[in-house]
Amino acid sequence: MNLYAFELGRKKELCLAELLSVLGEKNLLEKNMDTAIFKLKESQEKNIQSLQDSLGGTIKIVKIFKTAQKNQIKDIVKEYLEENFKDRTGKINFSLTILNQKFPDKILIKNLLISSKKILKELGLNSRFVNQNFGNTKPSTIYKARVIEKGVDINIIYSDKTIYIGNTVAIQDIDSYSLRDFNRPKRDALVGMLPPKLAQVMINLAVPEAKDKTTIYDPFCGTGVIPMEGLLLGYDVIGSDIDQRMVEYTTENCDWLIKNFRPKNSPSFRIFKNDAKFLTKNLLPENITAIVTEGYLGPALTKYPLEEEQEKIFRELSNLHLNWLKQVHELTNKNLRIVMCLTGFKKNTSITHFPRFKELATFAGYKIEDTYSYDREDQIVIRDIVILTKI
């Protein structure tokens, strides 16, 4: 079993939770500032890019080939390059990344880049450094310069116990995410701004250690980002929305996804019009594994709402959430997991979270397993991601 470091995305706790859900807690070796180190099964190692493509919260995956003390790093990198590049031809794109250091050690990067260029030269290879000004290379630069295919991205990963050295073996496919986000046939700026990466994280939190027969349901599907990402992961999906236009948008987007991405397991989808407060067994006959939904977040806002407006929005949303959660409780089996978003409001660094949701959830028959905040700098309305199970 080899060790792999997963570089965590912006919301570290949420990204780690996704990994724990997909890979299992028992396989976690350690967690540091930027990375989580896991043991992987052979089947996962074999399909490492498809594992990466299923993880919205992981920036890249690094295969660890050695642990070291600081004074051994240079020799280990030399050994790695000599061993792995002796039979290579053509120009090599080369980059270095230091992880888990708040201010990456520029002197170390500079020394390693210079010595590595020399080693590659001795092997008869011209190389291009992707790093700029001896800082870390941005993952998007590694992706665009196709460093994994055309050379190597070496990672020096600091941890409390040791220094891990590894090479990047998979990286977030930014073009594919942006295609699904910006080039799907139907978008609606007022309704659907859920990033596909976040939809993936939410689905992974709802389906621990991915089961084969999985059906997920989004009762507020909007333009269909969650159904689309569910299909891409190979799950059957059901979606509904109160607005017929959204039903049509999601249907068209899901058709597009299947045609263009050909997901594994040939998953199916069904989308229908419905007010989530009035769900019946006739409308939802399937055995649902998980409910994953952004939910309704309240009216679109252009400025920070006054306290009375916030209270009004929270009151209306409480009524909606209580009703649909109760309906779902009656119609699903006891192992159901729900991952949903709760509205919050953000002003500068202060966040007002959804009030009294714990009481509401308990009253509807659920326990809150975890909550993660997902806010962005420029947003007034933020999402808290909540995981619920049935009591």
The residues that touch ligand SAM, with contacts defined as CB under 6 A, are: 191-192, 194, 219-220, 222-226, 241-243, 246, 275-277, 294, 296-297, 320
Q: Least separation, in Å, of the C-beta of 274 and ligand SAM?
A: 6
Residue number with CB closer to ligand SAM (119 or 191): 191
| 205 contacts: CB under 8 Å, gap ≥ 6 | 17, 18, 21, 337, 339, 385, 387
CB-based closest residue to ligand SAM? 192
In the DSSP assignment, the letter for residue 90 is S
Q: How far apart are CA 339 and CA 307, in angstroms?
A: 27
Q: How far apart are CA 326 and CA 100, in angstroms?
A: 44
Residue number with CB closer to ligand SAM (145 or 194): 194
Residue number with CB closer to ligand SAM (248 or 309): 248
In the DSSP assignment, the letter for residue 306 is P
Q: How far apart are CA 92 and CA 146, in angstroms?
A: 10
Question: What is the β-pairing status of strands 366-374 and 337-347?
Answer: unpaired
Q: How far apart are CA 241 and CA 251, in angstroms?
A: 11
Residue number with CB closer to ligand SAM (79 or 181): 181
Q: Least separation, in Å, of the C-beta of 222 and ligand SAM?
A: 3
Q: Least separation, in Å, of the C-beta of 192 and ligand SAM?
A: 2
Contact 219, 274 (CB under 8 A): yes
Residue number with CB closer to ligand SAM (151 or 192): 192
Residue number with CB closer to ligand SAM (171 or 361): 361
Q: Least separation, in Å, of the C-beta of 296 and ligand SAM?
A: 4
Q: Least separation, in Å, of the C-beta of 179 and ligand SAM?
A: 15
DSSP letters along 132-193, please? STTSPPPHHHHHHTTHHHHEEEEEEEE-SS-EEEEEEEEE--HHHHHHHHHSSS---TTT--
Neighbours of 114 (CB within 10 A): 11
Residue number with CB closer to ligand SAM (76 or 202): 202
Q: Least separation, in Å, of the C-beta of 384 and ligand SAM?
A: 14
Q: Least separation, in Å, of the C-beta of 187 and ligand SAM?
A: 8
